[in-house]
A and B are shown apart, each in its own frame.
Chain A
Amino acid sequence: MADKRSKQKSKYTLDRQIPGAFEGETITRRRFMTGSANAAGIVAASAIVLPALGFAVGPIFKGTVHPWETVGTVDMFPDNNYIPVVITLSPNIGEAGKSTAYVRKYNPAIDTDPYDQSTPYIAISSRCAHVGCPVRWVDASERFICPCHGGVYDLLGRRVGGPPVRPLDRFYTRVVGEDVQLGGRFSVNSELRRFSPRDPGQALDGIGQYLYPSRPSAPKSS
């Protein structure tokens, strides 16, 4: 068998004694037909599967812009306590698209971290950094407390107890005239260093920021 093969090494079908071979032909017409039928099948299948797949996974790569939203006036917010405001994270779906943020004025005595220097207001997201339940600010204990699994955060939103893996997320703030506006969300690590918005449960300290990379779809401030 091996001998027979080595004898038929010529690339021309005519030399390989194939019946009906043409002069200068290097591939049999049967092989060519099989290959082109398979190729046509692959093209046809891809024409269906690829758009469907792209359609399904497209939202992963679609960038979104979070618009600025007015949540109150400058005299509404004290600098030592939080005022809850309702903001819209996803428009057009009613209550399901709304969320609560806790807002207070920037206080140089409390907000000593270098990353807070430029922000006029501190706006803390109520989304727990464990698995996303809504935390509430408990005035008496000066803590954010999560009802689901007992996550506890301090005045700056840093974790002091329970399962959360990073501090509470924040929103960019700005003042336009007399209005306080909230922009896009950002995440912070335990030193309150800013990162692009992550989902709950994704750590940002140490190796965490590499295990949970920033996503193209993360909403950016306009």
Chain B
Amino acid sequence: MPKVPKTPAPPLPGPLRESPPRPGSANGNTIAEDAAQAGIAVVDWVDERTSLSGGARWLMFRKVPKGTNWFYTLGSATMFAFLSQAVTGVFLAMYYRPDPAGGAYESIRYVTNDVFLGQFVRGMHKWGSSVMVVLVFLHMGRTFFFGAYKYPRELNWVIGVVLLILTMTMSFTGYLLPFDQRAYWATVVGVNINGTGPLIGPYLSDFLRGGSEFGATTLSRFYAIHMLLVPGALIALIGAHLYLVAKLGTTAPPWQKAEPRAELNEAEV
């Protein structure tokens, strides 16, 4: 079908036409336009001094393979679960007291029963931890079954396994903090399971307890590991994980067949 040149649009009727700038106004912009300009100016000011926009574009506007589907959101979902844990954890730390002589349990009871929305925030943290573990495994399963761990993404798989171990460490250390009967005995059992490792096991359980018996420092030790040591490592490794995803790109699902480019096909004769 031959292309027909477009005729110009008919002129707008008078009332719909934009009015010319008022005489005496500085640049003839509306307030909204001025506000948008100010925002752009601020972003430009930062970007001129940091060149962040290039990095943001590199990270956000990547090409994704054909066939990308909802399974590819499991990693982001895991990261969101982690962020939720981080935020709720910070607020829980405002009330928590790692005192094994009754103070820890009492502070948790106070958060749950007396603090405004305390039960909700604690519930988010408690259930969110299970959500995160489930999502981690689903994400791992997706990576495995889609073959997304293969060259050149092996290092990202290794980082992911370390992240899995750290997530488990978070679950283990966080479980003690309510300091009720379940928390206490689960930790006793968990520490003793660590102790059954040959040769280094006895020292490992001593390290976890901070001594030969479950003592005054065990709870604060677990608390420090739970909220300072492991989260720091998690954040650093999630950063490395994301960097490699952005650097290497994502894989197409295994059922996606490669389509030969048309111009590479041999001409039929």
Q: Which residues of A are interface residues toward B (Cβ below 8 A)?
A: 56-57, 59-60, 62, 64, 89-90, 92-94, 96-97, 131-133, 148, 197-202, 211-213, 215, 217-219
Contact = CB atoms under 8 A, between A and B. Distances in A.
Contacts of B102: 94
Contacts of B107: none
B192 A200 contact: yes
B211 A131 contact: no
A217 B215 contact: no
B203 A60 contact: yes
Give the interface residue-count category, chain B: 20 to 34
A193 B202 CA distance: 20
Contact of A131 (B189, B214, B215): B189
Contact of B195 (A57, A93, A201, A218): A201
Contacts of A94: 100-102
A202 B199 contact: no
A198 to B, nearest CB: 7
B198 A62 contact: no
6 contacts: A90-B216, A94-B101, A131-B189, A131-B192, A133-B188, A148-B189
Interface in B141-184: 179, 184
A64 B206 contact: no
B216 A201 contact: no
A142 to B, nearest CB: 25
B76 interface: no
B214 A199 contact: no
Contacts of B185: 133, 148
Contacts of B202: 198-199, 202, 212-213, 215
Contacts of B100: 93-94, 96-97
Contacts of A133: 185, 188-189
Contact of A59 (B193, B201, B207, B214): B207
A200 B216 CA distance: 20
Contacts of A218: 212
B196 A202 contact: yes
A93 B218 CA distance: 10
Contact of B211 (A56, A200, A211, A217): A217
Contacts of B211: 59, 62, 64, 90, 217
B196 A93 contact: no
Given A90-B216, A97-B100, 12 more contacts: A60-B203, A62-B211, A96-B100, A131-B189, A132-B192, A133-B188, A148-B185, A198-B202, A200-B192, A202-B195, A213-B199, A213-B202
Contacts of B179: 96
Interface centre among A64, A96, A200, A202 (most CB of B within 10 A): A96
B101 A200 contact: no
B52 to A, nearest CB: 30
A93 B209 CA distance: 14
Contacts of B206: 59-60, 215, 217
B205 interface: yes
Interface centre among B184, B207, B213, B216 (most CB of A within 10 A): B213
B217 interface: yes
Given A94-B100, A212-B202, A57 B207 contact: yes
